[in-house]
Amino acid sequence: MIDQTVPGLHAGVKILHDPVRNKGTAYTEAERDALKLRGLLPPRIHSMAEQELRVLGNIRAKTTDLERYLYLVALQDRNENLFYRVVINHLEEMMPIIYTPTVGKACQEFQHIFRKPRGFYVSLGDKGRVKEILQNWPHKDVRIIVITDGERILGLGDLGADGMGIPIGKLALYSACAGIHPTQCMPVMLDVGTNNENLLNDPLYNGLERRRVRGKDYDELFDEFITAAKELFPGVLIQIEDFGNTNAFRLLEQYRGNTCLFDDDIQGTGAVAVAGVIAAMRITGGKLADQKILFLGAGEAGIGIADVFVSALKEKGMNEEEARKHCWFVDSKGLLVAGRDNIAVHKEPYAHEHESITGFADAVEALKPTAILGLSGQPRTFTREVIEAMARINERPVIFALSNPTSQAECTAEQAYTWSAGRAIFASGSPFDPVKLGNQLFVPGQGNNAYIFPGVGLGVIVSRSRIVTDEMFLAAAHSLANQVTEADLERGRVYPALSRIRQVSALIARDVAKIAYDSGFTDREEPDDILADIHEYMYHPVYPHYA
């Protein structure tokens, strides 16, 4: 477990500047004497609950979400236990601030709001000595690394080194949603340049002032990092995040067989979306084998969802070729069909025989899908024409506008419900407020990867699995769908309430860990009660006693 002892040099003012051990005004009288804190703090001792009230008051007094984000980042930098107590106890309020959609705005402004470094930067200039510099990281028991190269941040594109906000935010969710201790989390930015002209021309940009490198130099730097991380942090789980399509698919395929690694944009998004589709079947009464999904966008997220959906159909006895015919894609060139020129390798399995179609609305009319899933990063592309067509074709059309942040969503919740006369089963990637239509209140589900990756990561870490498999993500999808209650479905929500996410993550972790034990992916002996073992591992933000 975590070492909460205080070395001698962490006495006095130094412990107040250590976010892992700082308790602020909550130090007891005995601790103030033992740690030489007399005179360095106001005399009144506050409980953690009272400190939480102060934090909430300050957050709610801010006028913008970006200001709230900055306040919470500052709290995280000075008192991690209090930060996580606030986030966990008020997750539905805080998650949109510490992650999507606000983190997108924070990344866009990162060079201007930069105050204190957090996370670890590996750049082209470090090539040949990555292992050496990794030893500068202050925490040695690293269990999870989230790494990005900043090329495809949410739906915002290439933000270079300013994409560091993403791994920081993802790891905050690992701690809040799944109980991975903050000191076991390491955010990493692989800075290989940027093609964003605005950043290259900004004198305050913190990253390399050069265009993005590709090819041999890129591959060698990435491989050097992976090799060094595995050597210095044995058994570490590595999550690759917001890489561009050029690298994401090939890096996943290259390393997944010999490294404990996964790509959340491909596998995590796949699992969370398929969980939503499975849950939606409880509303429609349909069968998974009867669904036809039309995707808008054929990048990492779309292909990842299709792959998990195909796995779910194969689990039901369908062969792979037939299963793939239940997934159709419209990309920037129109309907993905066999024989089209220059089809990317990752798209080829889903290029079916059909006449060419340019527009998405025309594809809806021609294919008559039961569900449309938006992963294009193109806002308002689920037009009134599209949604009305879906409502005409289906009694309960499934409409998932999954692009992040909120500004990039293919449609709003209000549009989906209004244009379908309240019959749409809607989910989005970023949060939307409930919608009142007539006498009915609809609560949109948020198909956020936070329902999946923390639980998968927790299960892998606790079981000490050597690899992460597609079977684990399919199990996570089923686990998540099974945790949607009848009360959720009655309100039109196909995901559990975010307030339950730690319980959701623990159950997903149990199912993932079970696969690791049963498949021999770990040398750890299976405990008598996997769920109890997981709960015992989970971090809870409480102050330790030092005297």
pTM value is 0.94
Q: Which are the contacts of 108, defined by CB distance < 8 A and separation ≥ 6?
A: 156, 159, 162
Residues 294 and 398 in one domain: yes
Residues 93 and 107 in one domain: no
Does any domain span residue 476?
A: no
Does any domain span residue 224?
A: yes
Residues 53 and 167 in one domain: no
Residues 166 and 294 in one domain: no
- Cα 79 from Cα 83, distance rounded (Å): 6
Catalytic residue chosen out of the listed positions 23, 27, 69, 170 = 170
Residues 210 and 319 in one domain: no
- Cα 510 from Cα 179, distance rounded (Å): 14
Is 333 annotated as catalytic? no
- Give 544's DSSP letter: P
**Chain centroid offset of residue 521 CA:** 24
Residues 74 and 128 in one domain: no
Domain with residue 172: its CATH number is 3.40.50.10380
Distance set, CA 106 to CA 112, 154, 339 (Å):
9, 12, 42
Residues 251 and 302 in one domain: no
- Structural domains in the chain (count): 3
Does any domain span residue 276?
A: yes
Does any domain span residue 54?
A: yes
Residues 220 and 245 in one domain: yes
Residues 326 and 432 in one domain: yes
Domain with residue 55: its CATH number is 1.20.1370.30
What pLDDT was estimated at residue 10?
57
As a three-state string, the secondary structure of 289-334 is HHCCEEEECCCHHHHHHHHHHHHHHHHCCCCHHHHHCCEEEEECCE
Residues 63 and 212 in one domain: no
Residues 340 and 444 in one domain: yes
One-letter amino acid for residue 7 of the chain: P
In tens, the pLDDT along 363-389 reads 999 999 999 999 999 999 999 999 999
**Residues in the chain, how many?**
547
CB atoms within 10 A of CB 258: 11
Q: Which of 259, 285, 305 is the last residue of a domain?
A: 259
Does any domain span residue 540?
A: no
- Residue ranges of the chain with pLDDT lower than 70? 1-10
Q: Which of 404, 433, 450 is the last residue of a domain?
A: 450
What pLDDT was estimated at residue 4?
46
**Which strands form 144-148's sheet, in the order they lie side by side?**
120-123, 185-191, 144-148, 237-240, 261-263
Q: Which of 423, 450, 477 is the last residue of a domain?
A: 450
In tens, the pLDDT along 238-281 reads 999 999 988 999 999 999 999 999 999 999 999 999 999 999 99
Catalytic residue chosen out of the listed positions 27, 69, 84, 99 = 99
CB 495 within 8 A of CB 451: yes
Residues 121 and 85 in one domain: no
* Domain span including residue 65: 8-97
* Cα torsion 263, 264, 266, 270: sign: positive
Is 218 annotated as catalytic? no
**Chain centroid offset of residue 498 CA:** 14
Does any domain span residue 436?
A: yes
Helix boundaries (H) for 256-299: 269-284
What pLDDT was estimated at residue 318?
97
